Structures are given as C-alpha cells and as structure tokens.
Amino acid sequence: MSKVIKNGTVVTADLTYKADVKIDGDIIVEIGQNLSGDEVLDASGCYIMPGGIDPHTHLEMPFMGTYSADDFESGTRAGLAGGTTMVVDFCLPNPNQSLLEALQMWDNKTGKASADYSFHMAITWWGEQVFNEMAEVVDRGITSFKHFMAYKGSLMVNDDEMFSSFQRCADLGALPLVHAENGDVVAAMTQKLLEAGNNGPEGHAYSRPPEVEGEATNRAIMIADMAGVPLYVVHVSCEQAHEAIRRARQKGMRVYGEPLIQHLTLDESEYFNPDWDHAARRVMSPPFRNKNHQDSLWAGLQSGSLSAVATDHCAFTTAQKRNGVGNFSKIPNGTGGLEDRLPVLWTKGVNTGRLTMNEFVAVTSTNIAKILGLYPKKGAVLVGADADLIVWDPARKKTITAKAQQSVIDYNVFEGFELTGLPRYVLSRGKVSIVENEIKAEPGHGKFVGREAKNPVNRALSQWKDIVAPRKVERTGIPATGV
Ligand code: URP
Ligand code: ZN
Ligand code: ZN
Ligand code: ZN
C-alpha cells in the first residue's frame, strides 16, 4: 500500500521546494507534483523533512550502580514523538569483557525498539583481544568506537590505550569518538571538594570546569592527528573545547563536534537551585555552562565548526539521582531529551533566526548521517532513501511537561519550555508512528542499521598518511663505528 504526503514543502539540508512525496513500503519512491497513492497524508502548511537522527543515546545502560531508566521501547517512542526516527546507542563492554559478547547483550535489549537504531562500540579496556575483535565489530556494521577520557576507575582509558585504539581505527577505516574531560583532574578536584564539605550537586559543576574539557579535547585531537584518523567529539559544552575543534578544522584536520540540546539551552544556574532534587536531576557530564559558552555553541552550528546536535539521552529517575545525597560524585550522570531535541532546537534556533530551516535539518539529521556512513539511506529526502520522515507543523504549540512525556522518568529538564513547531506526522520506514499527540509507534518495528567502514574521509586520510609516513634515509659514506 502506497502513501503520499501531499501539499507540503520539502526542506532538506540544501533545498526548500514544494513537492509531494510518495512512499511504497519502507522507501521513498517518487518526489514530484500531483502524485497519488492509496493513502494521503496532508502536509498543508507543513515542512517535509528527513527524520531526526540522535547519534548519542544511552538506553537501559548500566552506569554508576544503576541502569538508565528509558529502554529501547520508551526511548525510541520518545524519539519518534519528537521527530527522531533513528538513535545510535553505545555498547559498553565491562573491563576484560569480549566486545562481541557485549554486543550480544546490547542487541538483546532492542526487541521493542519502534525506530531504527545502530551502535557505537566503546573501548573501555585494551588488549590483543580488543584489537582483534574490533575488526569483527566493523564487519558487523559498527564502524565507530567511543573512548571515555573521564570516569576514572570505570570507563576511562589512558593516552596509550587511546592512541593504540585510534591507530586501529585508522587501519580499519573506523571513526573514533571521545568523551573529552581530563578524568585525572576531575577525580582530584572531586576529592578536594568532598573533603571541604562541598558535597551538593553544585560540586559536580565545580569539579568539571571548562578547562578539563578543553584540555582533553585538544589532547584527543592531537592524538587522532598522529594516528591519521578523523575524530568525533561528543557533548561539546564549552568554548575551550569548541576552540580546539575550530582550530583543528582550520588546519585541515577532520574533527567533528557534537553539542547537546541541553547545553545549548540550559545553563549552570540550575546547579545553584536550592532544591536538591532540581539540581541533581540536571547533573550530567560535562555540566551545563554559562551564556558565553552557549553563544559559542550556537556560533559553531551557524559557522559549521560544530556538526550535529544530540541529546546524550541517559535518563535517571529522581529516586536514582538520590543515590548521591551527601556525595555528588554518586549522583548518576545523565539527562533526558530524546522527545525534546527537535522541537526545542526549532523553537530556540529557527524561530529566533539563529538557524535556517536547512541548517536545522543539517544539524539534526543530514550531517550526522554523512559522518556515520548512513547517508543517503538516512538523513535524506531522496528517491530510494528510507521513508524516515517528519511532517513538521511550524504553527503547532505545546508546553513541555513531564506529565505528558513519553520518557518513563518523573521530571523533564525542559519543564515549562513553550514550544512552537512540532511534528504533525512522523514516519519510521514508511510506518506512520506519530499523528500529532497520538502515538502509533509499533514496538519491534525498529531494525538495526549496519554501516560501512572506510568512508571517503578515512580513505583520504590513510592515503595522505602513507605519503608522509616515516621513511628511512638511504645514506652513503656511513662513518665506521667504535673507532
Ligand atoms: O552525564 C552523562 N553524559 N551521562 C551519560 C554518559 C556519558 O558520559 O555520555
Ligand atoms: Zn560522555
Ligand atoms: Zn553519553
Ligand atoms: Zn513494522
């Protein structure tokens, strides 16, 4: 049964034009004028855009002694409700655990996903087994590897492990990702704050100033450059990290930066709220920053030095957050945002003139599809692409409330935000999954999306690395030794 989205305006990363879009099964089959089909979806007054891709989620993730509360069922449903039709989640092996075994565990969580998904693999330890298994992980369509430079004593890897892994990524044509914070400095500052009795949620922000992020970002960039591999920096929250990325890109390095919708729109004053729960609910790493940093992130999206807006959706209930009463370092780190990313970015970005509609599509969908090797299957309104589509009504309004959200947690960090611009329809591979407030998402509909390694940027870097590789100088007249 075919469907036609009629009377709308197609908005992609580079074009805006009036057209109907016809879908057969999972796929866009025709784009043109006066199309007909078995079912008509009316897009009068609306924009037809590629579905959002959230490259950074943690669904049902074991972390800091608990599990993040949204799983693939509620997480993908929340995403769809806000126009996100694909998530890329992180598979985290335990120390000494096989990457393939961890992958099996992550795969087991996805049965009720209602939107498509992929994985990044985390490198949480290093050894011959990890080196070998990385090739198999790539063969299974997982072509990006995450490195935590923070969370000392659990997920953190040190510089020689990171350099080894980056070189392996270069060989395999994969993309390394980093959570860039100097974990040694954070651990030392945390200890000092706690010893001084500074144990509330504001201590979390004090323990992770922008400098720890700027330093680690620069270090990761330099290590990636020495390994001859592109680099993707997750949750860029501050000018210091953005500056390092900007500088690197200006020098021709292939570095991508990902700001979160939270850091763009929420600031550090949240941690000084006298209500412990309010502040703790907003504890995440890196922490929220001040307005100057927010302006820097917006400028990065405008100028192209930052590439993709994500959520790092890692939702914990208030009860879980209370594990850290009396010790901020035990508050599970993470906030939600899957349902809110697109409408909040539209309201605060497009409706204010900070972003064009085409830039909105680029930073919510198309750029990351290209970086991760998903394009044009995802991130595009093109014949042959998956019919992951949003019919976006720029006039629809709502006020964000935890009560009405799809996430299972009991609060929303954007509570009270007044939004203008929301989906009328959201389609996941042709399935109408959202009709305004009505949820038609189908648990189990979501499929794993494998990706190809060795994208053009990887290939170009490898080629250049070969040309400039160290070469022994053949000399004549070598002086005799030992005389
Ligand atoms: O605080 C955060 N960001 N929690 C999720 C894990 C991570 O560091 O991305
Ligand atoms: Zn992180
Ligand atoms: Zn994360
Ligand atoms: Zn289905």
ipTM of the complex: 0.97
Q: Which CA distances in Å does 336 have to 4, 62, 149?
A: 33, 16, 22
According to the model, what pLDDT value does residue 25 have?
98
| Extended strands (E) in 365-417 | 389-399
Amino acid sitting at position 110: T
Closest approach atom of ligand 1 to CA 314: 5
Mean pLDDT over 220-238 rounds to 98
How far does the centroid of ligand 2 lie from the alpha carbon of residue 331, in Å? 15
Which DSSP category does 453 fall into? Answer: S
Closest CA to 19 of 437, 427, 430, 389: 389
> For all residues of the chain together, what is the average pLDDT?
98
Which DSSP category does 331 fall into? Answer: S
Closest CA to 199 of 104, 103, 326: 326
**Distance (Å, rounded) from C-alpha 363 to C-alpha 425?**
20
407 lines ligand 1 (CB under 6 A): no
Mean pLDDT over 115-140 rounds to 98
Q: What is the DSSP string of 271-286?
A: GG-S-HHHHHTT--SS
Residue range 125-136, pLDDT digits in tens: 999 999 999 999
Q: Is the pLDDT of residue 8 over 70?
A: yes
58 lines ligand 1 (CB under 6 A): yes
Q: What is the DSSP string of 252-320?
A: T--EEE--BHHHHH-BGGGGG-S-HHHHHTT--SSPPB-HHHHHHHHHHHHHTSS---B--B----HHH
Mean pLDDT over 426-445 rounds to 98
**Domain definitions of the chain by residue range:** 48-461
284 lines ligand 1 (CB under 6 A): yes
Task: Report the relative pairing of strands 175-179 and 144-148 from DSSP bridges.
Answer: parallel
What does pTM read for this prediction? 0.98
Instruction: Return the ligand number nearest the Cα of 55.
Output: 3
User: Across-strand partners of 307?
Assistant: none
Looking at the domain 48-461, which fold is it?
A: TIM Barrel (3.20.20)
With tokens 């850091």, the residue in question is 263
According to the model, what pLDDT value does residue 480 have?
85
Which two three-digit tokens encode residue 62?
């074991």
What residues have a C-beta under 5 A from ligand 2, the ion? 179
Q: Which of helix, strand or coil describes residue 184?
A: helix
**Distance (Å, rounded) from C-alpha 367 to C-alpha 259?**
13
333 lines ligand 1 (CB under 6 A): yes
Amino acid sitting at position 321: K
Q: Is the pLDDT of residue 478 over 90?
A: no
Residue range 319-377, pLDDT digits in tens: 999 999 999 999 999 999 999 999 999 999 999 999 999 999 999 999 999 999 999 99
Q: Is the pLDDT of residue 483 over 70?
A: no
Which residue owns the Cα nearest ligand 1 atom 8? Answer: 285
Q: What is the DSSP string of 88-116?
A: EEEE-PPTT--HHHHHHHHHHT-TT-SSE
**Distance (Å, rounded) from C-alpha 127 to C-alpha 149?**
17
**Distance (Å, rounded) from C-alpha 132 to C-alpha 128?**
6
Which residue owns the Cα nearest ligand 1 atom 2? Answer: 334
Say if residues 213 and 186 touch (Cβ distance below 8 Å): no
Residue range 379-391, pLDDT digits in tens: 999 999 999 999 9
With tokens 């850290």, the residue in question is 324
Mutate to test the pocket of ligand 1, among 67, 261, 312, 409 (most ligand atoms within 8 A of CB): 312
Residue range 303-317, pLDDT digits in tens: 999 999 999 999 999
**Distance (Å, rounded) from C-alpha 159 to C-alpha 141?**
26
The number of beta carbons lying within 10 Å of the beta carbon of residue 440 is 14
According to the model, what pLDDT value does residue 187 have?
98
Q: Is the pLDDT of residue 482 over 90?
A: no
Residues 6 or more apart whose CB falls under 8 angstroms from that of 396 comprise: 420, 421, 422, 423, 424, 436
237 lines ligand 1 (CB under 6 A): no
Residue range 187-222, pLDDT digits in tens: 999 999 999 999 999 999 999 999 999 999 999 999
Mean pLDDT over 390-395 rounds to 98
Mutate to test the pocket of ligand 1, among 59, 263, 285 (most ligand atoms within 8 A of CB): 285
